[in-house]
Amino acid sequence: MERICVTLPPELVNELDAILKENGYHSRTTGIQEAIEDYIYKLKS
Protein backbone atom coordinates (compact mmCIF):
# COMPACT_ATOMS: atom_id res chain seq x y z
CA MET A 1 0.00 0.00 0.00
CA GLU A 2 1.00 3.57 -0.54
CA ARG A 3 0.71 6.19 2.18
CA ILE A 4 -0.70 9.67 1.54
CA CYS A 5 -1.19 12.68 3.77
CA VAL A 6 -4.38 14.77 3.76
CA THR A 7 -5.11 17.94 5.68
CA LEU A 8 -8.74 18.41 6.70
CA PRO A 9 -10.56 21.06 8.71
CA PRO A 10 -11.27 20.02 12.31
CA GLU A 11 -15.04 20.06 11.77
CA LEU A 12 -14.74 17.50 8.97
CA VAL A 13 -12.47 15.27 11.05
CA ASN A 14 -14.92 15.40 13.96
CA GLU A 15 -17.82 14.49 11.67
CA LEU A 16 -15.81 11.68 10.09
CA ASP A 17 -14.82 10.28 13.48
CA ALA A 18 -18.44 10.34 14.67
CA ILE A 19 -19.69 8.54 11.56
CA LEU A 20 -16.94 5.93 11.77
CA LYS A 21 -17.67 5.29 15.45
CA GLU A 22 -21.43 4.99 14.78
CA ASN A 23 -20.71 2.41 12.08
CA GLY A 24 -18.29 0.31 14.10
CA TYR A 25 -15.03 1.26 12.40
CA HIS A 26 -11.93 0.86 14.55
CA SER A 27 -9.68 3.05 12.42
CA ARG A 28 -9.93 6.07 10.17
CA THR A 29 -7.85 4.27 7.57
CA THR A 30 -10.43 1.58 6.91
CA GLY A 31 -13.30 4.06 6.78
CA ILE A 32 -11.48 6.44 4.47
CA GLN A 33 -10.38 3.58 2.18
CA GLU A 34 -13.98 2.40 1.85
CA ALA A 35 -15.25 5.95 1.28
CA ILE A 36 -12.73 6.52 -1.51
CA GLU A 37 -13.54 3.15 -3.09
CA ASP A 38 -17.28 4.00 -3.00
CA TYR A 39 -16.61 7.44 -4.48
CA ILE A 40 -14.55 6.02 -7.34
CA TYR A 41 -17.17 3.33 -8.01
CA LYS A 42 -19.92 5.98 -8.19
CA LEU A 43 -17.89 8.15 -10.55
CA LYS A 44 -17.30 5.21 -12.88
CA SER A 45 -20.96 4.13 -12.88
Q: How many structural domains comprise the chain?
A: 1
pLDDT at 10: 99
**Does residue 38 belong to any structural domain of this protein?**
yes
pLDDT tens per residue, range 22-45: 999 999 999 999 999 999 999 999
Which range marks the domain in which residue 39 is found?
10-44
pLDDT at 38: 98
What does the angle CA 25 – CA 14 – CA 3 come to, to the nearest 5 degrees? Answer: 60
pLDDT at 31: 96
**Does residue 21 belong to any structural domain of this protein?**
yes
Question: With contact defined as beta carbons under 8 Å apart, do 31 and 25 qualify?
Answer: yes
pLDDT at 21: 97
**Does residue 40 belong to any structural domain of this protein?**
yes
Which pLDDT band, with edges at 50, 70 and 90, does 5 fall under? Answer: very high
pLDDT at 40: 98
